[in-house]
């Protein structure tokens, strides 16, 4: 894994040190001195306090880059985010904490608000649409999009068409088993056994599900049968694995599965593409921004809201039978779609070759950490040079992403 704290030159950039997401939303190498900084995780006191933090005093720092959490005591700042900002779940919208976070976002010290997708940007604009027009303009004038990045290694495709005579191999990766689509993966394996189809599913998951996950039915009996399905002969279940092992398994699979009910992005999808593996995913969240059906992956139909979220999500109804029934029926529908869509590849492995090439091209064009690192450095340089007595003014040639994401996936269509 590439580490951040590699260089000693340039400006001092403090990136708040979370355990996962900021790795995808900051430079993996830099011309600047990147310092991974600890912060106070107030969410340990209550999940309601997930949206803000404080850090130890900064000495000699030129810029702080926070992700999801809004630091309340730093100087020059940019904030990247995955969905809503500020994160105020469970807080009174007119309460003091929300106003404190909003004041920080509106301030001139906050120079950029950076969504990790156009999906995130839509959610942000929808979240703040009822603000006073002047306040809305201040926030939206700082708003831009930068997609996450992954290590795209300079390696050839490990897939060998000539020696491929085994079952079609699918891999699912996700700690939140039901939310990410693990139940769908188990159901696909079950349907394949019933119909005598050569399909093997590898599931890499710590199996977190149920009441602790905001999308899942609360009744444990609803999801229990899918955990039992992990013992099936055409299913391999692995728990925690090093990232390099996970990515090796991805590269050896024919498809990566992400039939998710709710994802702000889907990092396993872009890691799979970096390993040449096309992704089978639902048309939710940011996934349609980089997966084009039959070009570099397969998109499964699912009912969504205008923002792109699964229409069945209803946090307050998770304990009801109606919600559980809809969740299970959606699992069945997605599994049937998946099996129907992969059947043509059972006897025609040659058709996988262009999908694999296009998946890799997507990773190289959109998500390569080397290019992303240079882009982050450009943003850092611009923000550090700006006069903080003036509101931020985005440069449309550098700061503003295309409203349609990128043209890459569509260019693979024939």
User: What pLDDT, on the 0 to 100 scale, is given for residue 59?
Assistant: 82
360-394: b (≥16 Cβ within 10 Å) or e: bbbbbbbbbbeebbeebbebbbbbbebeeeeebee
Structure-token pair, residue 31: 């011309």
Q: Phi first, then psi: what are they for 235, rounded to 5°? A: -130, 135
70 strand-pairing partners: 52
What is the per-residue DSSP string for 79-144? Answer: EEESS-SS--TTS-TTSHHHHHHHHHHHSTTEEEEEESSHHHHHHHHHHTTTS-HHHHHHHHTTEE
CA distance 265 to 263: 5
pTM of the model as a whole: 0.91
What is the distance in angstroms between the CA of the first residue and the CA of the last residue of the chain?
A: 36
Res 406: pLDDT: 37
pLDDT of residue 92: 87
Q: How far apart are CA 378 and CA 285, in angstroms?
A: 27
DSSP assignment string, 144-178: EE----B---S------GGG--SPEEEEEE-SBHH
Cis peptide before 137 (omega within 30 of 0): no
Residue in this structure with the two tokens 């058709």, named with its chain if needed: 351
Per-block mean pLDDT, blocks of 10 residues, the chain (414 long): 46 90 94 93 87 87 96 92 91 91 95 96 95 95 96 95 95 97 98 98 97 94 96 96 95 98 95 98 97 97 94 95 98 98 97 98 97 95 93 74 43 34
Number of H helices, E strands in the chain: 12, 14
All residues at 6 or more sequence positions from 411 whose CB lies less than 8 Å from its CB, including other chains: none
The residues facing 173 across adjacent strands are 204
Residues 37 and 65 sit within 8 Å (Cβ to Cβ): no
Query: Could you report the per-residue pLDDT of 33-61, keeping only the tens digit for each?
Result: 999 999 998 988 888 898 999 998 878 89
The tokens for 413 are 């269509």
User: What value, to the nearest 5°, has the Cα angle with vertex 76 and ends 74 and 77?
Assistant: 80
Q: CA-CA distance, 20 to 49, in Å (whole number)? A: 18
Which token pair is 349?
A: 């492995």
User: Quick check: 75 and 107 in contact, CB under 8 A?
Assistant: no
CB 333 within 8 A of CB 259: no
3-state helix, strand, coil split of the chain in percent (to 5) is 40, 15, 45
């Amino acid at each position: 894994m590439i580490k951040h704290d590699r260089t000693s030159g340039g400006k001092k950039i403090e990136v708040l040190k979370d355990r996962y997401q900021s790795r995808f939303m900051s430079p993996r190498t830099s011309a600047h001195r990147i310092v991974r900084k600890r912060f106070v995780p107030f969410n340990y006191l209550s999940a309601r306090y997930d949206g803000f933090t404080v850090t130890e005093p900064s000495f000699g720092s030129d810029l702080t880059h926070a992700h999801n959490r809004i630091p309340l005591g730093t100087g020059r700042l940019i904030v990247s985010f995955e969905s809503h900002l500020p994160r105020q779940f469970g807080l009174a919208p007119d309460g003091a904490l929300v106003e404190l976070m909003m004041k920080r976002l509106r301030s001139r010290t906050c120079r950029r608000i950076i969504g990790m997708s156009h999906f995130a940007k839509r959610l942000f604009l929808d979240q703040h649409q009822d603000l006073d027009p002047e306040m809305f303009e201040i926030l939206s004038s700082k708003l831009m999009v930068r997609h996450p990045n992954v290590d795209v290694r300079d390696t050839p495709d490990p897939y060998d068409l000539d020696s491929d005579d085994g079952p079609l191999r699918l891999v699912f990766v996700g700690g939140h088993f039901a939310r990410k689509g693990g139940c769908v993966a188990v159901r696909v394996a079950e349907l394949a056994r019933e119909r005598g189809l050569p399909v093997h599913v590898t599931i890499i998951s710590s199996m977190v599900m149920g009441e602790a996950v905001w999308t899942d039915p609360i009744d444990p009996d609803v999801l229990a049968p899918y955990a039992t399905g992990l013992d099936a002969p055409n299913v391999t279940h692995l728990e925690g694995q090093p990232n390099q092992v996970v990515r090796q398994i991805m590269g050896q699979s024919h498809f990566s599965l992400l039939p998710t009910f709710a994802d702000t992005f889907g990092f396993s999808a872009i890691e799979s593409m970096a390993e040449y593996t096309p992704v089978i995913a639902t048309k939710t969240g940011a996934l349609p921004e980089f997966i084009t059906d039959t070009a570099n992956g397969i998109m499964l139909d699912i009912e969504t809201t205008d923002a792109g979220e699964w229409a069945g999500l209803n946090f307050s109804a998770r304990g009801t039978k109606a919600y559980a029934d809809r969740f299970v029926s959606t699992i069945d529908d997605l599994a049937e779609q998946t099996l129907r869509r992969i059947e043509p590849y059972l006897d025609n492995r040659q058709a996988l070759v262009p999908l694999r090439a296009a998946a890799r091209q997507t990773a190289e064009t959109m998500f390569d950490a080397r290019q992303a690192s240079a882009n982050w450095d450009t943003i850092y340089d611009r923000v550090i040079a700006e006069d903080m007595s003036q509101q931020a003014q985005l440069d449309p040639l550098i700061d503003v992403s295309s409203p349609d994401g990128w043209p890459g996936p569509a260019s693979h269509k024939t």
